[in-house]
Structure 1
């Protein structure tokens, strides 16, 4: 090969390399934009309030120490076992994951919603350790002195 042919081949190689890299870089930002848009569609409630079923074994809450039960959580479709209204206008809700379960969750909130026994409800909030159900909660006497997990309510659905 002579010098002209070598220069021509080198020039073509450089031009095709530049053209290829420009095509590749122009496609790459579009892929990143699509991925960024897909990430924005996640609900902030799903990330802030994970489902308790994915975090803890709720069939046996006795295995957890009270100091381990401090986290944001969502109680999805839990049953209202009992409820009462105290003198300050706060509603005390005794919840269970199943209608036949004896694993109780105690939520105290100020709300205008009306509740019924065995109604399903979703609560998002913060687990606040274990507590014992006392007579001041005004629940049915069969629930007295039962252990429950306390939850500070942020949202009721």
Structure 2
């Protein structure tokens, strides 16, 4: 009888020890500062580029140029993607409908800018962890898609206005 109690006690302690170890290893596995491609299913990041034929039109809009430059640093290999997106958020705060230069100060640009801001702000509003990794992936993809629509509209308006 005493041997059965000892065996039972040993099994209980062994199971409890294994249980704690798996919890610790699960919590320590997630590292948000890994390359973007290791966190989300993305092989490449393709941002639309501003049309160089109309560079003079874009160069007068410094906050946009700053955002564009920082977004170009966002690649699948970026392990500083959180800081890049936070920096972009700060630059986007400087852009509002009152300081958008001609020919870009149109409702369709303002609307697309709001969509970009929404997803950049959303990504910066939560801590990146294993629980919200899927949301992070969806939001990063929406940043790319909405920014591309924004730049395509800017290029079209720059072309309409001429060099």
Do both share a fold (TM > 0.5)? no
Structure having the larger proportion of residues in helix:
2
1 or 2 for the larger relative contact order (CA 8 Å, sep ≥6)?
Answer: 2
Coarse TM-score class (shorter-chain normalised):
0.3 to 0.5
Q: Please, what TM-score do these two structures have when normalized by structure 2?
A: 0.33
For the pair shown, the structure with the greater C-alpha radius of gyration is 1
Higher strand share: 1
